[in-house]
A and B are shown apart, each in its own frame.
Chain A
Amino acid sequence: MANKISGVVLDAAGHPVAQARVYVVKAPGPAPDVAVLTGPDGRFALGAARSGTYEIACSTDHAGTASATVVVGAHDAVVELRLS
C-alpha cells in the first residue's frame, strides 16, 4: 500500500515557510533518497511506500531546521514541522 507523509513547515513565529527541503532520514526499509520543496503555503508531501515509523527532517538556508517522527499505517500521516 502506497501512502504518504504530508504536512506543513512553519517558522518560529508560525508562518509557513516556502522552499524548505523535507526528506526522510529513517524509514522501515529502503526509501527513495528524495527531498521535496515546500510550496508557497509551506506544505509538502512525501511518498511512504511501507507502513511503519519514519523520521523526517527539514532544512532551510536561513530559517533553521526541524525533525519529527511519524507513524504511517493504513492511512497517510500528517505532521507539522516547526523550525528552530
Chain B
Amino acid sequence: MVDRGMLRDVPFELVLLPGENDVRLTLELVEGAEVLVPDRLGNAPMNTEVIPADDLLDINLGNPTQLGNTTGWFGLAVYSDAEIRGAGGNISGYPGDKPSGTQWYDARKIDSVNSRKVFYDIDTAGGQSGSAVYRIVNGNRYAFAVHAYGGASTNSGTRIVTPVFNNFVAWKA
C-alpha cells in the first residue's frame, strides 16, 4: 500500500505480482499500472488526518487482462448494517512481519459497522492495507470493505457503500 504523500511528491513505478503466495501464481507481471485516487483525497491538504469516505485508491491495470482467470475474481457488494454485523469477515494479504511474497489469511466475526467504516479483530499486520474484507456467498467472494487501519483493540476498513461501489465501477470502466 502506498502513503498518501507518495501520490503527490514522488513519481513511482508499480510492478504487481498477481496472486503470489511464496511462489508466483502466474509469471505475468503488470508494469506501468495507473493509480486512481478519489478527487477529494487527491486534493485534500496533506495535514488532513483521515477522510474515511474516500480513504481508498484503485490500481488500474490498463489494458484488458484475463489475469482473473488464473487468480480468481472478487465481487463487490453493498450490504446493510445487519448483513455486515451478522457476517464473518475474511482477509487475505501480505503482512510485513511474514516472509515476503507469502499470503496469509484470517477470518472472524465483524464487531461493528458505521456509515463509512467496518470494525473487526481479524488479525492483520502492516502491509495488508488494501486487502479486500470479504464474505463468501454460495462459494463466491464479495468484498464489502477495504482493509485500511490497524489498532490496539480493533482493526478497520473503508466500507463499500453505494458511492464507493459506484467509484469502483467507474474506475473499472
Contact = CB atoms under 8 A, between A and B. Distances in A.
B3 A61 contact: no
Of the four ranges (under 10, 10 to 19, 20 to 34, 35 or more), the interface on chain B belongs to 20 to 34
B156 interface: yes
Contacts, number: 78
B90 interface: no
Contacts of B95: 35
Interface in A43-77: 45-47, 49-50, 57, 59, 61
| Most chain A CB atoms below 10 A, which of B126, B129, B152 | B126
A76 to B, nearest CB: 12
Contact of A32 (B1, B47, B96): B1
Contact of A22 (B50, B96, B128, B129): B96
Contacts of A32: 1, 3, 129, 148-150
Of the four ranges (under 10, 10 to 19, 20 to 34, 35 or more), the interface on chain A belongs to 20 to 34
Contact of A2 (B47, B127, B151): B47
A34 B152 contact: no
Is chain B's binding surface mostly helix, strand, loop or mixed?
A: loop
Interface in A18-40: 19, 21-27, 29-36
Is chain A's binding surface mostly helix, strand, loop or mixed?
A: strand
Contacts of B156: 30
B46 interface: yes
Contacts of A1: 47
B161 interface: no
A2 B147 contact: no
Contacts of A22: 96
B124 A46 contact: no
B155 A36 contact: no
B5 interface: yes
Interface in B133-160: 147-152, 155-156
A49 B49 contact: yes
Nearest to A50: B49
13 contacts: A2-B49, A22-B96, A23-B126, A27-B152, A29-B151, A30-B149, A30-B151, A32-B129, A33-B125, A34-B129, A35-B96, A36-B3, A47-B5
Interface of A: 1-2, 4, 19, 21-27, 29-36, 45-47, 49-50, 57, 59, 61
Given A24-B150, A33-B127, A59-B98, 4 more contacts: A21-B96, A33-B126, A34-B1, A61-B100
